Amino acid sequence: MTETTLSPETTAPAAIKGKSLYALDDLTRIRNAAEKRFRAYGMTAIGIGLFFLVVLAYSIISEGMPAFSRTVMKVEFTLTQEQYDAAEKELFKTKAYESIFISALKSQLDASGISVPFDKDAIGRLVGKPGGTIRSFYKENPDQLGKNVAFELAASSRVDGYINGRVTRENMTDSRFLQKSDLDIVDALVKAGIIVNVFNWDFITGADSGVDNPGGAGIGASVVGSFFMMLVVLFLSLPIGVAASIYLEEFAPQNKITDLIEVNISNLAAVPSIVFGILGLAVFIQFMHLPQSAPLVGGLVLTLMTLPTIIISTRASLKAVPPSIRDAALGIGASKMQAVFHHVLPLAMPGILTGTIIGLAQALGETAPLLLIGMVGFVARGYPDGIVQGFIDPNSAMPAQIYTWAARADFAFYEKAWGGIIVLLVFLLTMNILAIILRRRFERRW
């Protein structure tokens, strides 16, 4: 090293004549430039990292927000008992309702002073078959006959795409789903306040729909699946993790077996998550015959996966409790077990909980092992009937649901996938903020 830094120029500054001491010589300039360059590389690296973060956040938000709104057609009209009876007598009952709907739409348009020519087929392309919806509404609520009812009919997914900018006049082609001329009607209806964007509660509370109905897909059922899974993970990994850490940190003798356990834990922390999926498939489903696609099994697999993380963080917080606390407890006659459980553990609890929440957040976002045990998105067809069913009935989890949507061919599902990611990230953010608050409020420094 000395050979490179002590080059002749630097050892003999006197050789440079007629120059001020303050003027930098060539070598110093080169070295300073190198210094600046190096610094710039570092800043660029940080900049690139943060740039990716911003791009990621931007694409999640911009692509995901449309999933939270849906386009509906708001039409108000009154159906009298006579009209109802007349419609029920017709051969094509829904058609009769449809014409009532269209005349109501026409009068509402006229009232707002906008005129646009439209026919039955065009309306069919915009809102599907409104007749059926209206008929079933009055069948179920006959007391609403003769009263003014405001209907909110879901617009077709293409119209939804047009409103959200996914479909434009330039990129669309005429098809039986939507024609260019329909867009004029849509524009007029938007102007008249009949087609509006409303918050899509169905996305948050609904279950997965079939491949042909992207509009009706919701993430609610898989949120419930994730919730039951997290319950399993919490109630297994917290006690087991704490017990294992207490043993390793406070009681374990220095021997081969302890070493073996420690090596195992640090290795399991680095085993790919998909291997845990294989373990779950082979042990819990093939061998123990637990039900497939059940949140219980998912929870067990994720427990095994998060245990190393929880053990590592719990040991760190146990280690942070000063030995004087233990010594004081032992000094007044407590047994070692009492010293640990009555004094060390309560003091380490905030740190343990923080670590557990972070471990849970990690488990919540895990996808690959769940796919192997069958918790794919399309099994999340509805809410479980009860608490026990919540654990053992087939269900999906948020990330697996997002994967299923992303893997479908219909582009409209991509929007749902991004929207699902927003929901998932909201949960993760809440958990992490909770962990930070816990740490700030309760963590003690000795």
For the CB of residue 315, give the shortest distance to other proteins in the complex, in Å: 11
- What's the alpha-carbon Rg for the chain, to the nearest Å? 33
For the CB of residue 49, give the shortest distance to other proteins in the complex, in Å: 5
Identify which of residues 218 and 369 has a Cβ nearer to other proteins in the complex: 369
Identify which of residues 211 and 260 has a Cβ nearer to other proteins in the complex: 260
Nearest residue to 250 (alpha-carbon basis) of 309, 333, 329, 350: 329
For the CB of residue 349, give the shortest distance to other proteins in the complex, in Å: 17
- Distance of alpha carbon 278 from alpha carbon 301, whole angstroms: 9
- Distance of alpha carbon 154 from alpha carbon 157, whole angstroms: 9
For the CB of residue 402, give the shortest distance to other proteins in the complex, in Å: 5
What the block records as the tokens of 433 is 């903020």
- Distance of alpha carbon 283 from alpha carbon 308, whole angstroms: 19
Nearest residue to 420 (alpha-carbon basis) of 386, 380, 384: 380
For the CB of residue 230, give the shortest distance to other proteins in the complex, in Å: 14
Identify which of residues 86 and 263 has a Cβ nearer to other proteins in the complex: 263
Identify which of residues 195 and 424 has a Cβ nearer to other proteins in the complex: 424
For the CB of residue 445, give the shortest distance to other proteins in the complex, in Å: 17
For the CB of residue 389, give the shortest distance to other proteins in the complex, in Å: 11
For the CB of residue 270, give the shortest distance to other proteins in the complex, in Å: 4
Identify which of residues 103 and 267 has a Cβ nearer to other proteins in the complex: 267
Residues whose CB falls within 8 Å of the CB of residue 419, separated by 6 or more in sequence, listed in order = 64, 65, 66, 67, 68, 203, 219
Q: What phi, psi does 170 have (nearest 5°)?
A: -75, -40
Helix axes 220-246, 295-320, angle to 10 degrees: 40
Identify which of residues 34 and 328 has a Cβ nearer to other proteins in the complex: 34
For the CB of residue 64, give the shortest distance to other proteins in the complex, in Å: 10
Identify which of residues 193 and 210 has a Cβ nearer to other proteins in the complex: 210
Identify which of residues 21 and 111 has a Cβ nearer to other proteins in the complex: 21
Identify which of residues 196 and 248 has a Cβ nearer to other proteins in the complex: 248
Identify which of residues 220 and 420 has a Cβ nearer to other proteins in the complex: 420
- Distance of alpha carbon 70 from alpha carbon 68, whole angstroms: 7
For the CB of residue 45, give the shortest distance to other proteins in the complex, in Å: 3
Identify which of residues 383 and 413 has a Cβ nearer to other proteins in the complex: 413
For the CB of residue 265, give the shortest distance to other proteins in the complex, in Å: 5
